[in-house]
């Protein structure tokens, strides 16, 4: 078991760190509220937050497609109409995906259960699946709901659910796998990228496990999983030195018996929530705890969030914000709305993390890969937009409106976000004292004190402005503070 933090060390900075990592950050008031719960109460509030499913129902335009009925309808059309129908379908799907990304971003920003959404994002990176091959918004939503359902549950149950997930079955070709020709894609990635890592299985293990996942199909009427027993290889298979008439769930059960599986997942989870490259001793300790918890995720996270190492100097404000974290956390820190859907999608694409479209089955590399010269400059420019009170120039606005129409979503409001309330962020009593103003904004933006050297440019900026603290100056000061390497960290 990890060494727990002494509750007497619980303070505002640790509360902010917990909220940043177990969620998407918050305002000073939200951090203060979490701190006031006490150490155990704060961790418990995140692990046992209320269900939000009624607050975020499935987007209205995203629904299963009856492909059998559609096939018959399209077959009856003249040839020139078929092409036009396919183009309309592709356009509608692009619009649906825009709506789906917007729906998830807003759920991350507004949910009373931020840890579940943070874990849904983590599992999306682990069981990476892309709409570029799946091509159906409904299937991506359905997988997203599966990840959310099992996010805090049992990892074995999650792995089994994902093996029967239609989006994953399309992405890694399980639905094409038959006993005469078993497809090895899912079997290989299940072990290499999802559960074990290279070096913990053989090519024979891949071939035999591929046979176990034959017969997995998708019902074309409602996009649900179905099992086709006559296409399943029911013969004896040898996997990890054991023999039997294994099915897909049996293979996953055998994988879970390997301590390497618990260590593999914990290495990833620790890097996501705490810091990258944990040492072998820590990984072994984490893996042993997860194995001891029988792969139950919630008690494992409770152990992590209570641990002293989670709040160590190596962890606090040493993680580069992912693009999704940057976008959602910025909206929460500024107590403002998210950008309009097309602005948000373009921003995430430019910064290198498009939800529902990871670059490959490995997911996103993360860490230092998030920052390049171009993505850093884009972040600085995006912070300026975030502070712009939602005002876009006419040229940009016309471009977005045209793109909305092309995507089949002319109803999306270009300026639908809540603007930044500068009076609330920097009230008059703070503006009278530059030192207090900078200290207050530092806690809001960074959640930790900066060194005098790091703070000096902000005080110098105000001095150059003759300590003018008008809204325009405060906006420029905020932009200066957000255009720093420190703001890219969480």
Q: What is the pLDDT of residues 260-299, one digit of tens each?
A: 999 999 999 999 999 999 999 999 999 999 999 999 999 9
CB 328 within 8 A of CB 348: no
Where residue 82 falls among pLDDT bands split at 50, 70, 90? low
Least confident of 63-72, 313-322, 426-435: 63-72
**Distance (Å, whole) CA 274 – CA 263:** 15
pLDDT band, very low/low/confident/very high, at 407 (cuts 50, 70, 90): low
161 lies in some domain: yes
| 207, 240, 256 - which closes a domain | 256
Mean pLDDT of the chain: 92
**Does one domain contain both 369 and 431?**
no
pLDDT of residue 409: 46
Residue 83 lies in a domain: yes
Q: DSSP string spanning 11-70?
A: -HHHHHHHHHHSSS---HHHHHHHHHT-HHHHHHHHHTPPP-TTTSPPPTT-----HHHH
Residues 78, 191, single domain; the answer is: yes
What average pLDDT score do residues 184-190 get?
98
Does residue 415 belong to any structural domain of this protein? no
Q: For residue 8, give the DSSP letter.
A: G
> 451: exposed, middle or buried (C-beta count within 10 Å: 0-12, 13-18, 19+)?
exposed
Domain count, the chain: 3
Per the CB < 8 A criterion, the answer to whether 195 and 223 are in contact is: no
For the segment 78-92, the average pLDDT, to the nearest whole number, is 72
pLDDT of residue 315: 98
Q: Half-sphere exposure of 312 toward its Cβ, with a 13 Å CA cutoff?
A: 14
Q: Are residues 84 and 169 in the same domain?
A: yes
At 176 the pLDDT is 94
Report the C-alpha gap between 239 and 254 in whole angstroms. 8
Q: Specify the pTM.
A: 0.93
Whether residue 303 contacts residue 1, with contact meaning beta carbons closer than 8 Å, is answered with yes
Tokens of 128: 């990476």
> Among 356, 381, 406, which residue terminates a domain?
406
Q: What is the pLDDT of residues 359-391, one digit of tens each?
A: 999 999 999 999 999 999 999 999 998 998 654
SS3 sequence, 84-119?
Answer: HHHHHHHHHHHHHHHHHHHHHHHHHHHCCCHHHHHH
Is 272 within the bounds of a domain? no
**72 pLDDT band (50/70/90 cuts)?**
low
Helices (H) and strands (E) in the chain, counts: 25, 4
Q: Tokens 């300790």 — which residue? A: 285
Tell me if 101 is assigned to some domain: yes
Please state, in angstroms and rounded to a whole number, the distance separating the CA atoms of residues 175 and 430: 62
Parent domain of 365? 323-406
Judge whether residue 140 has pLDDT over 80: yes
* Region of poorest pLDDT, from 62-71, 72-81, 396-405: 396-405
CA dihedral 295, 301, 304, 305 (to 10 degrees): -170
Instruction: Indicate whether 35 and 113 sit together in one domain.
Output: yes
Is 55 part of any domain? yes
Supply the pLDDT for residue 405. Answer: 55
Can you give the pLDDT at residue 60?
Answer: 86
Using 50, 70 and 90 to split pLDDT, how confident is the model at 414?
very low
Please indicate, yes or no, whether residues 380 and 239 belong to a single structural domain of this protein: no
């Amino acid at each position: 078991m990890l060494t727990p933090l002494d509750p007497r060390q619980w303070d505002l900075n640790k509360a902010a760190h917990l909220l940043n990592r177990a969620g998407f950050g918050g305002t000073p008031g939200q951090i203060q509220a979490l701190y006031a719960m006490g150490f155990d109460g704060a961790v418990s509030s995140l692990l046992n937050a209320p269900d939000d499913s009624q607050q975020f129902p499935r987007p209205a335009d995203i629904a299963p497609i009856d492909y059998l009925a559609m096939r018959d309808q399209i077959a009856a059309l003249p040839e020139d109409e078929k092409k036009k129908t396919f183009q309309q379908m592709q356009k509608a799907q692009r619009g649906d995906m825009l709506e789906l990304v917007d729906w998830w971003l807003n759920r991350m920003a507004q949910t009373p259960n931020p840890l579940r959404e943070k874990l849904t994002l983590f599992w999306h990176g682990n069981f990476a699946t892309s709409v570029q091959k799946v091509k159906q918004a409904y299937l991506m939503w359905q997988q997203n709901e599966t990840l959310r359902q099992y996010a805090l549950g049992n990892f074995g149950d999650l792995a089994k659910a994902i093996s029967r997930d239609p989006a994953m079955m399309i992405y890694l070709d399980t639905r094409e796998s038959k006993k005469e020709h078993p497809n090895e894609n899912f079997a290989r990635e299940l072990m290499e990228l999802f559960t074990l890592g290279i070096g913990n299985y053989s090519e024979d293990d891949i071939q035999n496990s591929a046979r176990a996942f034959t017969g997995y199909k998708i019902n074309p009427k409602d996009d649900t999983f179905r099992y086709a027993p006559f296409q399943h290889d029911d013969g004896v298979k040898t996997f990890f030195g054991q023999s039997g008439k294994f099915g897909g769930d049996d293979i996953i059960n055998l994988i879970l018996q390997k301590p390497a599986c618990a260590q593999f997942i914990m290495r990833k989870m620790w890097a996501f929530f705490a810091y990258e490259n944990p040492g072998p001793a820590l990984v072994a300790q984490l893996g042993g705890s997860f194995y001891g918890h029988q792969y139950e995720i919630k008690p494992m996270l409770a152990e992590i969030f209570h641990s002293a190492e989670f709040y160590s100097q190596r962890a606090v404000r040493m993680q580069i914000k992912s693009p999704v974290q940057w976008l959602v956390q910025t909206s929460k820190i500024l107590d403002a709305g998210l950008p309009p859907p097309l602005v948000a999608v373009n921003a995430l694409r430019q910064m290198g993390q498009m939800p529902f479209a990871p670059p490959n089955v490995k997911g996103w590399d993360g860490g230092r890969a998030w920052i390049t010269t171009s993505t850093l400059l884009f972040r600085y420019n995006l912070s300026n937009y975030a502070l712009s009170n939602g005002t876009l120039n006419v040229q940009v606005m016309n471009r977005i409106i045209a793109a909305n129409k092309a995507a089949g979503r002319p109803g999306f409001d270009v300026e639908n976000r809540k603007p930044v309330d500068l009076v609330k962020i920097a009230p008059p009593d703070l503006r009278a004292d530059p030192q207090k103003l900078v200290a207050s904004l530092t806690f809001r933006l960074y959640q930790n004190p900066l060194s005098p050297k790091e703070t000096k440019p902000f005080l110098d900026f105000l001095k150059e402005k003759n300590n003018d603290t008008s809204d325009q100056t405060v906006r420029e000061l905020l932009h200066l503070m957000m255009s720093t390497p420190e703001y890219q960290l969480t």
